[in-house]
Amino acid sequence: MLVAGIDVGAKNVHAVLIKDGDVVARAEVASGFDHDESAERGLREAVRLAGVTWEDIDSVAVTGAGRKALAYAAEKPTEIAADARGAFALFPEARTVVDVGADEARAIRLEPGGKVVDFAVNEKCAAGAGAFVEAMSRATEMSLEDFAEASLHSTETIPMNAQCTVFAESEVVSLIHANTPSTNIARAVHDAMASRVSAMVRRIGVEDPVVLGGGTALNVGFVNSLSEALGGVHIHVLPDPGFLGALGAGLIAWESAQNPERSQPDRPPRPQSSQRGTATARDGAVLADGLVERETAGERDFWRWSERSWFDGDLDPQEISVLTVGVDVGSVSSQAVILGDGRLLSYFSTRTGSSSPDSAVKAFRGASEPLGITLDDVSYAVGTGYGRVNVPFADRTLTEIACHARGANFMAGPSVRTILDMGGQDCKVIRCDERGKVLNFIMNDKCAAGTGRGMEVIADVLGVPVEDIGRRSFETDEEPPPVSNVCVVFAKSEATSLLRAGWSVNRVLAAYCAAMAQRVAGLIERMQVEREFFITGGIAKNIGVTRRIERLIGVEALKLPEDSMLDPQMAGALGAALFAHSLSRKAERERSTGVAAPRKATAADAKVTPAE
């Protein structure tokens, strides 16, 4: 008798074929938007590897996120039941089973004989799942394997405060900017993830032996950190841990098929290639096979904003007496702004890399090369942002709070009193006076929903360029309710589920923009909006979020003229350049008088105007 077990997960589909109780083939394929199609591809690959035919399969069991989709499955066990059965088969003495996948982690306690006694699942935050470490390895520009191995060679234990996946990514970027060894960063990440998983395991009680399954079980750094987090308990990594759920489902199907009195559904229908040959298009996005083809045919960075630059071709830099520079090295992007005698000459925006000094230099070169100037021509430079302490040519560093307030004051005028800065990995509401001086501020501190990084994740999931998300979110018949899950990683899973349920891509975009707006509006309401209101940061250019925020708080933000060369994403660097201008003037006064300036220079000293 030949049976199949399929585990349809958020990231991958695992399939096993079991003949007379023994595994004869296993296959792994990427999950698509269609659960039926994804499961079929996995099963088709296992059939090919086993050298059998589709008609040879007597029964199928499916588990995972897509278990309800397969009409021809004889059994549809929960992930808990499948994990327990698979773990018992591989390690009969197991009493605690931990399964850590890409987007979810589970802990199960078994009694002798393999019966489930208790279980726990992470359900609100993805910081305890494999996606957490994957995001951190990308931030360090290391492969997942190298990142895991590096963790074993750390020389110092660094506590990681952030639990949110995206906030932790910001913290990793900060550690990189501080020149922290990559081995210590890797250890901090794995320890943080292990802390979340161990807390979940302790909810059901830790009983030896402890076995570990799921794709993350192959991460040696995580296994080591989890062992320490559980008090030094030995962790048995199951063979082929990613197939734990599929194996359990297959064994359940095989045992069920041995019972002749149990009614069985019809034999799985043979897939018809003609049924899958034509993809279905929704809002211009191809689903089903077309989506799978897009995933494997080539990489396209849908999340990446295009590099942006501008320079004033009418001004001759040789006629400028004082050149000042502001550089904003953020967690996601870096900008440089150059002023000449207080007038805006140029700016440049690029993606922040793994080296903040290199990112600062790249941003400056992008802004300076069209003007034909070098650092030798610059009188004063100010650095701001996450990487401000590592801007190699900065004469001074200032917080991004102060710089965004000053930049917003310059862009929108002295009437601005409330500023919303929506950056790549954080969101801030700032109160300022008529000079752009900060009076108060608050920022999101627990979850990254409502930040640019979250929007980038959705852009990649849906295959929509991030610049187009705002416009397309309004191209729907009606406004949908916001997605229910605010976690960036879990919202990704929810977006995928909505597409599988028949939602159009644009409708999903609208729901996600609405959720982001709802989160940010709550932050604004904590500060209370004082007119006038202005939005800075990269998300300021996403009308799908900004217009919905305006509706929720009942206040329309000030807008830049359509023909303006100013860009709200440059506000931090612009504010830094304005402070540099003030500080340059102060230094010049001190040099000319031989005494200190009568008072500390402030942003109000920079009485400058934008180029016409």
| DSSP assignments along 402-462, one per residue | HHHHHHHHHHH-TT--EEEEE-SS-EEEEEE-TT--EEEEEE--S--TTSHHHHHHHHHHH
Could you give the C-alpha distances from 435 to 400, 414, 424, 576, in angstroms and in order? 16, 6, 26, 14
pLDDT digit string, tens, across residues 6-21: 998 877 899 999 998 8
> pLDDT band for position 36 (50/70/90)?
confident
Question: What pLDDT is stored for residue 346 in this prediction?
Answer: 96
Question: For 416-431, what is the mean pLDDT?
Answer: 89
- The tens digit of pLDDT for each residue in 204-238 reads 999 999 999 998 999 999 999 999 999 999 999 99
**Mean pLDDT for the chain overall:** 82
What pTM was estimated for this model as a whole?
0.64
Angle between helices 182-202 and 130-139 (to 10 degrees): 170
Cα–Cα distances (Å) from 431 to 417, 443, 499, 536, in that order, read 6, 12, 40, 13
Residue 446 has pLDDT above 80, yes or no: no
The predicted model gives 589-600 an average pLDDT of 62
Non-local CB neighbours of 107 within 8 Å, separated by 6+ positions: 96, 97, 98, 99, 119, 120, 121, 197, 200, 201, 203, 204
Residue 442 predicted with pLDDT over 80 = yes
**Average pLDDT in the 311-336 region?**
88
DSSP 125-158: -GGGSHHHHHHHHHHTT--HHHHHHHHTT-SS--
Tell me the mean pLDDT in the region 507-526.
90
Output DSSP code: residue 75.
Answer: B
Confidence class of residue 280 from pLDDT cuts 50, 70 and 90?
very low
Q: Which residues of 559-595 are buried (b: 16+ CB within 10 A; e: fewer)?
A: eeeeeebbbbbbbbbbbbbbbbbbbbbbeeeeeeeee
Give the model's pLDDT for residue 323. 95
pLDDT tens, position by position, 99-131: 998 778 899 999 999 999 999 887 655 555 767
Q: What is the pLDDT of residue 496?
A: 74
Model confidence at 495: pLDDT above 90: no
Rounded to whole angstroms, how far apart are CA atoms 372 and 317? Answer: 8
Residue type, 377: D
Among 70-74, 385-389, 468-472, the minimum mean pLDDT is found in 70-74
Quote the pLDDT of residue 102: 75
**pLDDT digits over 232-255, tens only?**
999 999 999 999 999 999 999 998
pLDDT at position 42 over 80:
yes
- Given pLDDT bands bounded at 50, 70 and 90, which one contains residue 267? low
Please state the rounded mean pLDDT for residues 547-551: 95
Q: What is the largest CA-CA distance in the chain?
A: 102
Tell me the C-alpha to C-alpha distance, in Å, between residue 459 and each of 10, 39, 63, 406, 543. 17, 25, 28, 31, 15
Please give the average per-residue pLDDT across 540-554, as a whole number.
Answer: 93
Token pair in block for residue 381: 């430079």
Residue 301 clears pLDDT 70, i.e. is over it: no
- With a CB cutoff of 8 Å and minimum separation 6, the contacts of 513 are 469, 470, 473, 542, 544, 545, 548
According to DSSP, the residues that pair with 134 across neighbouring strands are none
Q: Which domains does the chain have, with CATH numbers?
A: 92-237 (3.30.420.40), 308-412+568-600 (3.30.420.40), 443-553 (3.30.420.40)
Predicted confidence at residue 441, as pLDDT, reads 92
Residue 311's Cβ-side half-sphere holds a number of Cα atoms within 13 Å equal to 18
**Looking at residue 533, what is its pLDDT?**
95
Q: How many whole angstroms separate alpha carbon 398 and alpha carbon 374?
A: 23
Question: What pLDDT, on a 0 to 100 scale, did the predictor assign at position 180?
Answer: 85
Nearest-10 Cα torsion for 203, 207, 209, 211: -10
Closest to 432 in 3D by CA, of 422, 424, 421, 423? 421
Average pLDDT in the 560-579 region?
Answer: 93
Q: How many CB atoms lie within 10 A of CB 57?
A: 22
3-state secondary structure of 263: coil
